Structure 1
Amino acid sequence: MKLFQYHHCPYCVRADMVANYKNVSHEKVYLLNDDEQSCYDLIDAKVVPILQFDDGSVMKESLDIVLKLNELGDKSKVITAKNKWHEYEQLFADVKPSTRILTYPRTILIGLPEFATQSAKDYFQAKKEAMIDMPFEQAIIESAQHIELVNGLLAKLPELAINETLAMDDVLLFPMLRNLSMVKGLRFQQQTLLYMQHIATLTQSELYFSKAL
């Protein structure tokens, strides 16, 4: 079984978290960000993650993949239902433009496998600059004001549950927090940091604090 993905992609991280937590035997395949052909060959669309089974059949849509991996994985590794996701989702929605402006430019600078070539970086940069309506250089220059806004969000986050089992709240929330860890100057509450470190360990996921810019 192969899981085609990008390291930075929150939708991909959801699938990878569950595959790791549920001890599903799989090969991680990190596509270059500008590798459209591999995606089209598999599912006729430029979309990740993609789960390819040993018989060659494929599945897309991150939450469908999460459900399938949960079904296939270790039955003793429980994933509990989501409970507070809508609350978290609304908080993040309030600062979505700022999180994009902060993370997109940094994503190509921290040594991720999907950006191993300059053409992959250029492909990503062109698309994301159009989304944030500014050059990456300008976004970096304007970081301070967006860091202030996102710090406001981080201060409002309620205490995040630290459990020995994974919850769907974690599957949806952790990838967003993980990507923010690449931004130097963000102030995570101590309890939020403990939560992030716990989920990273539980799901064998990487945080970006050591690479933060």
Structure 2
Amino acid sequence: MRLYLYDHCPFCIRAEMVAHYKRVPVEQVYLLNDDEASCLAMIGAKQVPILQFDDGSAMGESLDIARHLDEIGDVLRPIRPHGDTEAIRAQLDRARLAIWCLLFPRDIALDLPEFATASARDYFQAKKEQLIQRSFAQALAETAEHKAAVEAMLAGLPALPLPSEHGGTLGWDDVLLYPGLRNLSMVRDLAFPPAVRAYVEEVARLTATTTYFDRAR
């Protein structure tokens, strides 16, 4: 099987987390961000992740892929059921614009495989500048303002479910919460509360996924 994804995409990280945790052998293939044709040929829509089976058929939708990988993966590595994370997700949602303004310009500055060409970077930038209603240059100039908003959000987060407090297991809540928090590691000197940083690093180790702390911009 092949898992088509982008490195920066939080939806893709959901699938990658489960594939690694459940020890499902998949070949990870990073598409260029402006490669619409490959996505359309496989699932009829420009979106990732995409799980392609050995017979050439494919499926999209990150949580559908994650559930399938869970079903076929190591039965001795269970995923804990959902808990109540509504308050955590609501807090993250309230800071969504500030998060986007911090992350989108940095996505294309980190030498990620999906942005290996100028056309891929330009494609992404044009779409995301429309979404945040400002240029990447303006968003970067506003970094201090957006960092303050995100740091306040992080400081007010309810307690996160550490895997070490649950027998070293992954939870479906982690599949939803970790990807967005992980991406914030690309912002240099962003003040992570110790408990949030510990959560990100624990889940990263458990799922063999990478963070951006060592190359933050």
Structure 2 unpaired stretches of 5+: none
1:121 has 2:125 as partner: no
Q: Partners in 2 of 1:89 and 1:208 — Cα distance?
A: 22
CA contact (8 A) 2:129 2:135 kept: yes
Post-superposition shift, 1:111?
1.1
1:77 has 2:77 as partner: yes
Q: Amino acid of the residue matched to residue 168 of structure 1?
A: W
Q: Amino acid of the residue matched to residue 186 of structure 1?
A: L
Give the structure 1 partner of residue 140 of structure 2. 140
Counterpart selection for 2:205 from 189, 201, 204? 201
Q: Partners in 1 of 2:150 and 2:82 — Cα distance?
A: 24
Post-superposition shift, 1:185?
2.9
Report the more deviating stretch, 16-25 or 51-60. 51-60
Correspondence list, 1:1-213, <5 A: 1-163=1-163, 164-213=168-217
Q: Partners in 2 of 1:132 and 1:120 — Cα distance?
A: 19
Q: Secondary structure of the equivalent of 1:181?
A: helix
Q: Amino acid of the residue matched to residue 195 of structure 1?
A: Y
Q: Partners in 2 of 1:172 and 1:45 — Cα distance?
A: 22
Deviations 1:60-95 (A, max 9, x none): 111100110000100001101111322211001111
Identity, % of aligned pairs?
A: 50
Post-superposition shift, 1:129?
0.4
Q: Secondary structure of the equivalent of 2:48?
A: coil
Q: TM-score w.r.t. structure 2 length?
A: 0.96
CA contact (8 A) 1:4 1:31 kept: yes
Q: Amino acid of the residue matched to residue 184 of structure 1?
A: R
Q: Partners in 2 of 1:95 and 1:192 — Cα distance?
A: 16
Post-superposition shift, 1:186?
1.5
Post-superposition shift, 1:8?
0.5
Q: Amino acid of the residue matched to residue 44 of structure 2?
A: D
Q: Partners in 2 of 1:85 and 1:103 — Cα distance?
A: 23
Post-superposition shift, 1:56?
1.3
Deviations 1:95-135 (A, max 9, x none): 10100000000000011110011110000000000000111
CA contact (8 A) 1:85 1:172 kept: no
Q: Partners in 2 of 1:161 and 1:128 — Cα distance?
A: 31
Q: Secondary structure of the equivalent of 2:42?
A: helix
Q: Which ranges of 4 or more aligned residues in structure 1 deviate by more than 2 Å?
A: none
Query: What root-mean-square deviation, in Å, do the aligned CA atoms of Structure 1 and Structure 2 show?
Result: 0.8
Post-superposition shift, 1:159?
2.4
Post-superposition shift, 1:184?
1.4
Post-superposition shift, 1:40?
0.9
Q: Partners in 2 of 1:212 and 1:98 — Cα distance?
A: 17
